Structure 1
Amino acid sequence: MAVITNIITGFLGVGKTTAILHLLKYKPANEKWAVLVNEFGEIGIDGAMLSEQGAMIKEIPGGCLCCTAGVPMSVGITALLRQKPDRLLIEPTGLGHPQQVIATLTSAQYRDYIDLRATIALVDPRHLLDSQYTSHQPYVDQLLSADCLVASKGDCYRPDLLEALSGWQMQYHPHANIAQIAQGALPLNLLDTPRIQMSRIRSHQPAHDLNAHHHEHAAQEPQFALAPDQAFVRKAHQAQGYVSCGWIFGAEAVFDLAKLRQWFRTLPVERAKGVVNTCEGSMVFNMSDGMLSVSAMSLEGFESRIEVIHSQPCDWDAIECALISAKMD
């Protein structure tokens, strides 16, 4: 039997992982769900957060799923399908092109194994008033590929800003459904929104050669294990006009919570997140649009992982030095 599958897309920091966590929390108790997580950075953080909800997780850090003939994606999907889940959720990187992922999932390779349902794009309506986003092709591609446009973070902006999304939808993608959520509370029933045949909206799409899109991936299983004598490892990545840098610290490393909060708050970057062992337990850090949230998680004894993303090159050495100073002796 084909596995019911959804793509949950959206730009950097829009709340995809929070929404998937909500879906996993309220999924039918008798169902087994799987999640394929793709992150822009090389380190891979979202999987640690999602694993708390008991789902089967497969991570593909280091680029978007659609590149290099989709080999990393095919490997990850096949591994999850072999575990016979009742539903598969796919979270592409915030800088990816979902239409190429859709093409793979509907190809002959997966026709008998994948029952693709709605592609859901989370969007912060405030971004539609900012040319930095509306002129960025991956951002536009994500919205045009969606069957349902979901205004996320509804508790963070004026209600009238929803009109920005409605206006964009009417002009460029009139067949898409629109919904609004707050704090990631994505309703389960949206997953069964009917799919739109992309030919119906092709006339609304700007000219863009997706075949020209290319950047490097990490290896198919890009886990950067620490050597016995290493305190941490750093990995950098660059693509689609953005740069990222991530760190993995051994499970023995413990950070001062107050100092780490301050480090996140003063980062000169657009996006940062981490799962970190601190003096007050395991914590999830999420910084987007200048706002930092910190929450506890139940996992213990894991490798701390931190990733930062920015549209301009950064002084990674200085940022790393400040990060290490937040570590307890």
Structure 2
Amino acid sequence: MKISTKKINVNVITGFLGVGKTSLIKTLLQHKPDNETWAVLVNEFGQVGIDASLMSAKDKAAGELLIKQVPGGCLCCAAGLPTQVAISQLIQQAKPDRILIEPTGLGHPKQIIQTLCNEYFSPVLQLDSVITLIDATKVADEKYALNDTFIQQARVADVVIASKSETYGDNDLSSLSDWLSVIGAFPQHTIAGTLPLQTEALTQLQNLICHPSTFTSRIAAKPIQTQRTSFVAPQAPGLFTDNNLVEPTLLADIDWQGEMMQYFTHQQQEYVSHGWVFAPEVSFGFDRFMTWVKSQQHANVVRLKGAVITYDGILGVNWVDSDLCLSELDETFDSRVEIIVNESNPCAQPFDKAQVEQALLGCIGGH
């Protein structure tokens, strides 16, 4: 890699599932300096990769933004090889002034920070503020407050954004501050705000993202990973194919061979993702698809999202914490839907993948 005299600024934006990371990145992209080129590296827990479709098509078309996805939860893995490949490609293709990295909400961000600071990237990249989004109402729930990933995401933060502040009670912000102290997290700044951030909070964050991260002085850089990796090719597909071993970065190059849908799954501890990718010519009836979405909001479903081609346009859907958000998208190559399930919930009805999939297929066609 050719080393530039000017380092590329990098921000890691982390936080648990559904806390608003993608929404925050969209806001930052909308207000980025006009004379700068930015790139975004998105890592999703599931295999199918949806979040990049929710980014700004306008900026991508103008050549001011390059978005790369690393699906399958591997951005934060110990090996770090997918990270190094993806970042190297972003640097070579976009020559960006700034890179925003969004790790999966179920991953430890410390590994990606170590990779950014290793001997390969440190001459090229300047790690600026690490931003962690936290819903302050969650720290009163032991399911979150004692969760190792939730804790580690807070500990790496230079800046904590207390998101969804419109839902807070009188004591939620003070409870967040107390919890941060208890777990040994000492961010330099805390911003409370709704998403998208309003003018005052956004201006404060725009200034803070340019500050060098202080966390780098407290970790050892991660050595360069030199080992090769491989994957097992999937079996010959039928009309509907289950692909658990497909290389995530190859999803855009699926050879459909007459199929109309492929299914992907990924598991990490108690969380399981179920993802469906549909052939580009497949379209959904909007009303039937929305009925299906609402029928999936069970106690064990922690996240549902999709980028779906309907007869009424391209629909972006994001459901988490009983909050359903719909958006109209400018473009997508195909339709993708993903559900993330917490299998450890003893009170929830077991997730029936076959039944859910059959109901989803029933939304295809018609208006």
Contact 1:62-1:218 within 8 A present in 2 as well: no
Task: Percent identity, please.
Answer: 38
3-state SS, counterpart of residue 150 of structure 1: strand
Aligned residue in 1 for 2:13: 8
How far the C-alpha of 1:305 sits from its partner, in A, is 0.7
How far the C-alpha of 1:320 sits from its partner, in A, is 0.7
Contact 1:9-1:92 within 8 A present in 2 as well: yes
| CA RMSD, 1 decimal | 2.1
Aligned residue in 2 for 1:141: 152
1:1-329 mapped onto 2 (5 Å cutoff): 1-52=6-57, 53-54=59-60, 55-67=65-77, 69-82=79-92, 83-158=94-169, 160-171=171-182, 172-185=184-197, 186=202, 187-197=205-215, 219=247, 221-223=249-251, 225-267=254-296, 268=298, 269-299=301-331, 302-312=333-343, 314-329=351-366
Contact 1:270-1:290 within 8 A present in 2 as well: no
Structure of greater relative contact order (alpha carbons < 8 Å, 6+ residues apart): 1
**Equivalent-residue separation in structure 1 for 2:280 and 2:271 (angstroms):** 29
**Equivalent-residue separation in structure 1 for 2:176 and 2:137 (angstroms):** 9
How far the C-alpha of 1:298 sits from its partner, in A, is 1.4
How far the C-alpha of 1:220 sits from its partner, in A, is 6.3
TM-score by structure 1 length?
0.90
How far the C-alpha of 1:288 sits from its partner, in A, is 0.2
3-state SS, counterpart of residue 227 of structure 1: coil
Contact 1:175-1:196 within 8 A present in 2 as well: no
Gaps of 5+ in 1: 203-215
Gaps of 5+ in 2: 1-5, 221-230, 232-244, 344-349
Deviations 1:222-270 (A, max 9, x none): 4161513111111011013210010111222211222222211221311
**Equivalent-residue separation in structure 2 for 1:100 and 1:278 (angstroms):** 39
In structure 2, what residue type is equivalent to 1:42?
A: Q
3-state SS, counterpart of residue 149 of structure 2: helix
TM-score by structure 2 length?
0.81
How far the C-alpha of 1:221 sits from its partner, in A, is 2.1
Distance 1:316 1:308, change over 3 A: same
Distance 1:175 1:125, change over 3 A: closer
Q: In terms of Rg, which structure is larger?
A: 2
In structure 2, what residue type is equivalent to 1:299?
A: E
